[in-house]
Amino acid sequence: MEFNGMFENGAPSTNGAAISLERLASKQKTRKKWLLVQPKSSTSMMVDSGSVSMPLNLIMVATLAGKLFDVTFLDERTGDQVPEDFSGYDVVGITSRSLNATKAYAIADRAKEQGKIVLLGGVHPTMLNDEARAHCTSVVYGEIESVWTELASDILQGTMKPLYKASELKPMTSMARPDFSYALDSPNAKKYSTRIPILATKGCPVGCSFCTTPTVYGKSYRYREMELVLDEMRYHQERLGRKQAIFSFMDDNISFRPHYFTELLEGMAKLGVRWNANISMNFLHKPEVAEIAGRSGCDLMSIGFESLNPDVLKSMNKGSNRLHNYQTAVGNLHKNGIAIQGYFMFGFDDDTEKSFQATYDFIMQNRIEFPVFSLVTPFPGTPFFEEMKPRVRHFDWDKYDTYHYMYEPKKISGEKLLGNFIKLQREVYKGRAIMQRMQGKPLNWVWMANFAMNRFTRKLTPESYL
Ligand code: B12
Ligand code: SF4
């Protein structure tokens, strides 16, 4: 039996599993060929245009697969072309969120028709694995690392199952360091943002009703050993030949364990890197957190303020957001030279015209550098989706990009919602408003983003959101 010695106390041992897989692979006449695809969405809302971030999800898949198979890596967002003919490949793996699911399914259908092993992974196929299964050989539920041994051995032996779902999530410490050469060696690599995606933690137990993370990862919160994260940073500093590498954390909520977070930042402060992250508000009101964030090179925090309406905050179950902390959190970050990308959502049942005024006042008074506005979108797999299913206007996944009108809220008509939504965006991105928010702030890409938003918001019409 190939897998003797692979299990220790009933659990797969990482080294044992890797050795058994290598043995199995070495028995193949030729190495199987994989094609991995990051599809481009067809949304018109600046999501997949301009410079895009290197897709850490697919890089992680390539890193694992590359140990046993030959991997070709294509990113449609940078201009790579997905072939019509897949005859050069044995396995075609595609990553998908909702906004590019239609595209992902079309590629998968073509590859399946040509008799390839087709894998679909990412949040949309995970959440709607019944739907996705019709387009592929197998769906990978959640992270590939936790099912890799079983998936890889089935591919090598030709015994595919329709769904790969881990009974237990692996500790992050056992995860391989991502091999960025797959993205960096691509002929279109210059389209990638210079910010290097990195992961320190996974999961978020906060449990907001509109978010898929609690469904995929449950209440678990895992983190990598700090030294592994710092080592990865050092590796990039060496690769780039300079101290000042810029990292973008892909974590769901990097600050959930304050002790781990602040220790990590102390380590980063010694490296001299720069960084940005998504962060929840749970302890940003404490001045020492913003102080260490600034000292460790943070130039931008992306914060989901979501709403200035207390009823809305309550309905979405976002316990980490306390309105009375908003101003203090912003003040603390600004004092330490950290710009804020603030996310605001509209379209909840408790939203009224007052929600827009309150948001405008908050942004202007607190000089939020880069406000981002979206329409609340019930994503499959979330409690919010289950609640809103009977009321959503369509299941056209191309429009599940948080910039489309999804259902009529109870306290404001659709027409008023979109009218106010556009007005608010134009107001905060007017030339005068940009100056009021940005004057005295460093001359960097955030200014450019504001000017781009000025041009973009002038073109918006209610039809843009239908
Ligand atoms: C960081 C992040 C971003 C970053 C970077 C995105 C990027 N380019 O990767 C930024 C801020 C740019 C961003 C933007 C957006 N995001 Co975002 N983002 C995230 C977040 C927090 C982490 C994603 C991540 O990189 N995780 C780390 C990687 C390593 O893990 P992973 O993606 O889960 O990948 C693993 C598995 O899925 C699996 N896998 C993935 N692909 C494949 C493929 C194959 C073949 C296999 C076998 C396995 C496999 O293995 C991977 C490795 O472990 C997620 C939440 C989440 N946990 O998914 C939301 C999330 C993906 N984002 C979301 C949304 C809505 C958006 C935006 C539309 C928001 C907006 N209005 O702008 C845009 C869309 C951008 C785009 N073009 O896709 C939603 C998507 C919901 C959905 N059903 O589609 C999520 C799930 C958050 C939520 N609300 O629940 N996002
Ligand atoms: S705090 Fe962020 S990551 Fe956590 S459940 Fe809420 S939206 Fe998702």
Whole-angstrom distance, CA of residue 48 vs CA of residue 70: 27
Ligand 2 neighbourhood includes 213 CB (under 6 angstroms) = yes
**CA 58 vs CA 38, 70, 351: distances in Å:** 7, 15, 37
Neighbours of 398 (CB within 10 A): 17
> Which tokens hold the place of 258?
């304050």
Compute the residue count for the chain: 466
In contact, 420 and 353? CB cutoff 8 Å = yes
Residue-level pLDDT at 14: 67
Mutate to test the pocket of ligand 1, among 250, 397, 400, 401 (most ligand atoms within 8 A of CB): 250
pLDDT for the residue 4: 33
**Residue 8: predicted pLDDT:** 32
The parts of the chain modelled with pLDDT lower than 50 are 1-12
Give me the residues paired with residue 121 across strands. 95
Q: Each residue of 172-230: pLDDT tens digit?
A: 988 889 999 999 999 999 999 999 999 999 999 888 899 999 999 888 899 999 999 99
Q: Which fold has domain 7-164?
A: Rossmann fold (3.40.50)
Sign of CA dihedral 352, 353, 359, 361: negative
Q: Is the CB of 204 under 6 A from ligand 2?
A: yes
Q: How far does the centroid of ligand 1 lie from the alpha carbon of residue 97, in Å?
A: 7
In CATH, 194-465 is 3.50.50.60: no
Q: How far apart, in whole angstroms, are the C-alpha atoms of residue 22 and residue 16?
A: 10
Return the pLDDT at 5.
32
Pocket of ligand 2, candidates 312, 318, 374, 376: which has the most ligand atoms within 8 Å of its Cβ, to mutate?
318
SS (H, E, C) the chain: CCCCCCEECCEECHHHHHHHHHHHHHCCCCCCEEEEEECCCCCCCCCCCCCECCCHHHHHHHHHHCCCCEEEEEEHHHCCCCCCCCCCCCEEEEECCHHHHHHHHHHHHHHHHCCCEEEEECHHHHHCHHHHHCCCCEEECCCCHHHHHHHHHHHHHCCCCCEECCCCCCCHHHCCCCCCHHHHCCCCHHHECCCEEECCEECCCCCCCCCCHHHHHCCCCEECCHHHHHHHHHHHHHHHCCCCCEEEECCCCCCCCHHHHHHHHHHHHHHCCEEEEEECHHHCCCHHHHHHHHHCCEEEEEEEEECCCHHHHHHCCCCCCCHHHHHHHHHHHHHCCCEEEEEEEECCCCCCHHHHHHHHHHHHHHCCCEEEEEECCCCCCCHHHHHHCCCCCCCCHHHCCCCCCCCCCCCCCHHHHHHHHHHHHHHHCCHHHHHHHHCCCCCCHHHHHHHHHHHHHHCCCHHHHC
| Cα(333)–Cα(321) distance, integer angstroms | 16
Looking at the DSSP assignment, which residues form a beta bridge with residue 263? none
Ligand 1 binding pocket, CB closer than 6 Å:
47-48, 53, 55-58, 60-61, 93-95, 97-99, 119, 121-124, 140, 142-145, 199, 211-213, 250, 252, 278, 374, 379, 401-402
Query: From the CA of 280, how far away is ligand 2's center (Å)?
Result: 7
Radius of gyration of the chain (CA): 23
CA-wise closest residue to 42 among 105, 128, 111: 105
Decide if 278 contacts 252 (C-beta within 8 A): yes
Q: What is the pLDDT of residue 9?
A: 33
Calpha distance 359→357 (Å, rounded): 5
Task: Give the count of alpha carbons within 13 A of 162, CB side only.
Answer: 7
Beta-sheet pairing, 163-164 with 138-140: parallel
Give Cα separations from 275 to 86, 265, 359 (angstroms): 39, 10, 27
Half-sphere exposure of 53 (CA within 13 A, CB side): 15
Strand partners, 279: 303
- Which ligand 2 atom sits nearest the alpha carbon of residue 204? 4
- Closest protein CA for atom 22 of ligand 1: 250
253 lines ligand 2 (CB under 6 A): yes
At residue 3, the pLDDT reads 33
Check if 211 has its Cβ closer than 6 Å to any atom of ligand 2. Answer: yes
Q: What is the pLDDT of residue 46?
A: 66
Domain ranges of the chain: 7-164, 194-465
